[in-house]
Amino acid sequence: MRAWAWSWAPLVWFAGASAAWAGPEGLAALQEAPRPAGEVAWRPPPAVGAAPAADVTGSGAYVQPPGTVTVAPRTAHVVRRGPVEQRDEWILAQPRLTLPALSPDPVGKGQWRARVSANRGNDFGWTQTSPGELPAGGDRRFLIDGEHQTTEASVRYGLSSTVDLSARLPIHWRGAGFMDGIIDVVHEAFEWAGFLDNKRPDFINDLYRVEGRSDAFVPFSWTEDDGSGLGNVELAVHWAFAGTEPGACWTWATVGRVTLPTATGVYEVGGVDVGLQLLAARRLGAAFDLYLGVGGTWFSEEEIDGVLYEQLRGSGFVALEWRPASTWSLIATVHASSNLVTNIALYPTFQSYVDLAAKIDLSRCWQLELGFTENLEDQQSTTDIGVFVGIVGRF
């Protein structure tokens, strides 16, 4: 499915809802609310003749020296929020470590950040001699048809002004779901705009089927392996090694990740997955920020229930954040990654997505995340459409 013709509608809704929720008094209160020590905040340059703002916390937070003047005090606490940390939850990718888009900014020494989120998506990809329920004698290279959901909890702690430690625990589910009919209606309604439906009407709706074969005609099937289970616990170290000082053009960080074999049920995988990312961010004026990231993963266990994975996999992202107001941001993120599996016949070797999301400050300590994911280039190896919501607390 292609969402370009309607993907801006949720952004317009987010903008209107957020402005209505905040109101003039709410906006003013949040703009003037003090930020926790260690939070990376942006202030406009001081007025002509005034002394520059000082960093007296040692953690990147700007504090106005007594007796000095800043321009536009009501925008003094405009803080960049960064991309929403979403993973590739495509059914075949769900059990593996994938790298999210995120900001290089540290949380600040002694600060805690907790996040709970849920991601629900519909997966539909196939390669076979003809679309639809395969007739006798037909050749199905693979069919991935189902839905997924991941609910996760994570916590992150600022060990110093530049180093954070974090842990994440996901709970996964995969199965038949209910979204096929809804997506069919959307495709039909926007057929005039050139939406691609990937021949969905030729297949039976709301079934769970994950099956196929290799080039050597060795079959695999996860069709009986639906259900839920704990995912692998993920541990990470985030090091912002450059650009955390006031006035820096670029902020740089590296993130190392490792998973522990704690998964249960149909998600049980032996071995460990390891990931490494290089992150960067640059402010583009008062209302925009650019984020970039590149990295890769390594899987010690290459096979899961008949599916062989590429042991080394590269990925990257680019994201743009826009702050229409000081209390919320709109973020567009494009993800891309290299080959996921190696033994499925005619399986696409490149995956790409776009995320459109909003982050809304509910108070000084709480933030709401909303958005959706849409595949870009190849429909056969990526989630058709997904939605996500999260709540983030800072302490």
Q: Which of 103-107, 126-130, 289-293 comes out lowest in average pLDDT?
A: 126-130
Per-residue pLDDT, 21: 42
Tens digit of each residue's pLDDT (9 = 90 or more) over 271-311:
999 999 999 999 999 999 999 999 999 999 999 999 999 99
Tens digit of each residue's pLDDT (9 = 90 or more) over 150-191:
999 999 999 999 999 999 999 999 999 898 888 877 767 766
3-state secondary structure the chain: CCCCCCCCHHHHHHHHHHHHHHHHHHHHHHHHCCCCCCCCCECCCECCCCCCCECCCCCCCCECCCCCCECCHHHCCECCCCCCCCCCCCCCCCCCCCCCCCCCCCCCCCCEEEEEEEEEEEEEEEEECCCCCCCCCCCEEEEEEEEEEEEEEEEEEECCCCEEEEEEEEEEEEECCCCHHHHHHHHHHCHHHCCCCCCHHHCCCCCCEEEEECCCCCEEECCCCCEEEECCEEEEEEEEEECCCCCCCEEEEEEEEEEECCCCHHHCCCCCEEEEEEEEEEEECCCEEEEEEEEEEEECCCEECCEEECCEEEEEEEEEEEEEECCEEEEEEEEEECCCECCCCCCCCCEEEEEEEEEEECCCCEEEEEEEEEECCCHHHCEEEEEEEEEEEEC
Residue 137's pLDDT band (boundaries 50, 70, 90)? confident
Residue 19's pLDDT band (boundaries 50, 70, 90)? very low
Q: Which residue segments constitute the domains of the chain, with CATH numbers given?
A: 9-394 (2.40.160.40)
Per-residue pLDDT, 199: 80
Per-residue pLDDT, 379: 84
Read off the pLDDT of each residue in 47-55 and give the average, rounded to a whole number: 40
Query: pTM above 0.85?
Result: no
